[in-house]
Chain A
Amino acid sequence: MAETTLFELVSPERLFFSEPVEMVVVPGTEGDFAALPHRAPLLATVRPGVIVIFAAGKPKERIFVAGGFAEVTEKACTVLAEEAALVSDLSPAAAEKRFDAANIAYQASLDGDDETMLRAENELLIAQAMVAAAKGDLAYH
């Protein structure tokens, strides 16, 4: 078996995933990056999107995250996600609903103060990524 790196995904509520993996691709704010064993240490912010775990060169598991932080060291990759769910557990209908709600909230917040607008915008981006993830829109991520 190929060399592995420990991948941990934690959400505020629980330890979501913790297993040695061969490679994991994380959607960083400034572009996706892959964490392999012996990767140079990296700290990055994560955008809402899908984390892909690879085994034997093929995608094995897809996990949706709503943004957060990632820390990569030689032996481990830790992602602190604000929210996490298996892509297979997402329902396109629920994601669409959330997107519509977020869109309405965003439109309403445009006249409000900056902070509420930023929060609404963030929620909109999360919902957008969720819809894409739920529909398996691979071009997006």
Chain B
Amino acid sequence: MPSLKDLRLRITSVKSTKKITSAMKMVSAAKLRRAQEAAESARPYAERMNRMMCNLAAGLGEDAAAPRLMTGNGKDQVHLIVLFTSDRGLCGAFNASVTRSVRAKVRELTEAGKTVKFFTVGRKGRDLLRTEFGHDIIEGRQHLGRKGVAFAEGDEIAKTLIEMFEDGVFDVCWGVYNRFQSAMTQVVTWQQVIPFASAEPAPAADADEDEAAAVPPADPYDYEPSQEEILKALAPRNMSVQMFRFLLESQASEHGARMTAMDNATRNAGDMIDDLTLTYNRTRQSVITSELIEIISGAEAV
């Protein structure tokens, strides 16, 4: 049985932990609000860009002039997985769910005889995958979006990817990130980036409800300037937008996950303090009782 002093120390330490977790929760809540706004206001652009790309790809047919970013380089051997995680921990299953999903995907791909490489965004993703796939992590980014995600950061990742693709480092590129749904739920989402996946538009595009603009036209498009010119400008732009969006979604999810995790931790700490206080009072009571018994029996003995 722990002594009174031990119990008192435990209670103090749990109390200070509780203070920390509840402060972290507050901080995350504030950051979440900003990140969520940013993520949600960036969705329309990404969705419309995606739709434009889909319409373009649909109208493309067997035209060989399309840029390779759209059609791929005809091979399907080396897959690059770009995973978006956080730099810091203490955010529940946020990073673990991404890496778990990545592991499952890797198993699936290696069974099909493909090679897999990784591009990690965020420190945690790298840390979690390093032991297993150390050699295959070919690129990494850290400390992005400290003060809110800037478009330039997504742009830079996209440029690096395009460069690597042109150098033949990989054939197919996937992005995997936590899509923000609410502070409680983040959905691990896979999106094929190269070649452009028109068959399965981003889940965001499905949720798009505005009527008129979503309908692809019956007639083929006129192009101004030529179709190739537009595609050449649009395809890299689309990559940047997608990366930007992944970063935003991932960041909003991170803060949401951390807020939920810290909320749980705070509640658990509260429960623990209650339990410990109960034990403390009981112990104190029994110490007093036994002291009284000692005194009384001492007095009786005289």
Q: Is B109 an interface residue (CB 8 A)?
A: no
A12 contacts B212, CB within 8 Å? no
Are A41 and B217 touching (Cβ within 8 A)?
A: yes
- A42 B55 Cβ-Cβ under 8 A: no
B54-70 interface with A by 8 A CB criterion = 55-56
With A74-B217, A75-B213 as contacts: A44 and B41 at CB distance below 8 Å:
no
Of A12, A18, A28, A69, the residue contacting B233 (CB under 8 A) is A69
Decide if B52 touches A33 in the complex (CB within 8 Å).
no
Contacting pair B233 A45 (CB below 8 A): yes
Interface of A is mostly: strand
> Is the Cβ of B233 less than 8 Å from the Cβ of A14?
no
Q: Which residues on A sit within 8 Å (CB–CB) of B206? A: none
B224–A29 CB distance below 8 A: yes
- In chain B, positions 5-53 with a C-beta closer than 8 Å to chain A are 38, 41-42, 44-45, 48-49, 52
Q: How far is the CA of A11 from the CA of B41 in the complex (A)?
A: 9
A60 to B297, CA, bound (A): 100
Question: Does B203 touch A at the CB level, under 8 Å?
Answer: no
B44 touches A15 (CB 8 A): yes
Cβ of A43 and Cβ of B213 under 8 Å apart? no
Check B151–A43 contact: CB distance below 8 A. Answer: no
* In the complex, per-residue mask of A1-23: 1 if CB is within 8 Å of any chain B CB, else 0: 00000101011111100100000
Q: Is A78 an interface residue (CB 8 A)?
A: yes
- From A11, A30, A33, A74, give the contact of B225 (CB < 8 A): A30
Q: How far is the CA of A76 from the CA of B38 in the complex (A)?
A: 26
Closest Cβ–Cβ distance, residue A46 to chain B (whole Å): 10
* A-chain residues with CB within 8 Å of residue B49 when the two chains form the complex: 69, 80
Report the bound CA distance from A73 to B215 in whole Å: 8
B288 to chain A, nearest CB (A): 66
Asked if B300 lies at the interface with its beta carbon under 8 angstroms from chain A, I say no
- Of the candidates B213, B219, B224, the one whose C-beta lies within 8 Å of that of A8 is B213
Residues of A contacting B241 with CB < 8 Å?
12
Main secondary structure of the interface of B (DSSP, over half): helix
The reply to whether A29 and B244 form a contact with Cβ atoms under 8 Å apart is no
A30 and B224 contacting across the interface, CB-CB below 8 Å: yes
| Chain A: number of interface residues, binned into ranges | 20 to 34
Chain A residues with Cβ under 8 A from B219's Cβ? 40-41
* Interface size of B as a range: 20 to 34
A42 with B224: CB separation less than 8 A: yes
Residue of B at shortest CB range from A5?
B212
Closest to A81 in B: B45
Q: A30-B225, A44-B223 are in contact. Are A76 and B233 (CB under 8 A)?
A: no
Query: Pick the contact of B212 from A10, A69, A76 — CB < 8 Å?
Result: A76
B230 contacts A80, C-beta separation under 8 Å: no
Tell me, yes or no, whether B133 is within 8 Å of chain A by CB. Answer: no
* A29-B41 in contact (CB<8A): no
Q: Does A71 have its Cβ within 8 Å of any Cβ on chain B?
A: yes
Task: State A14–B49 Cα separation when bound (angstroms).
Answer: 13
Q: Are B42 and A78 in contact (CB under 8 A)?
A: no
Picked from B44, B55, B229, the residue with its CB within 8 Å of the CB of A71 is: B55
> How far, in angstroms, from A111 to B292 measured CA to CA in the complex?
94
- CA gap between A28 and B216 in the complex, in Å: 21
CB atoms of B222 and A43 under 8 A apart: yes
Bound together, the chains give a CA A10 to CA B56 distance in angstroms of 18
Interface residues of A (CB under 8 A from B): 6, 8, 10-15, 18, 28-30, 33, 40-45, 69, 71, 73-76, 78, 80
* The 8 nearest A-B residue pairs measured at CB: A41-B217, A76-B213, A14-B41, A44-B224, A75-B212, A15-B44, A73-B217, A10-B45
**Contacts A/B (CB < 8 Å), 8 sampled:** A8-B213, A13-B38, A15-B45, A41-B222, A43-B52, A43-B56, A71-B48, A80-B49
Given A11-B45, A43-B227, A74-B217, 6 other A-B contacts at CB below 8 A? A8-B213, A12-B42, A12-B151, A43-B56, A45-B229, A80-B45
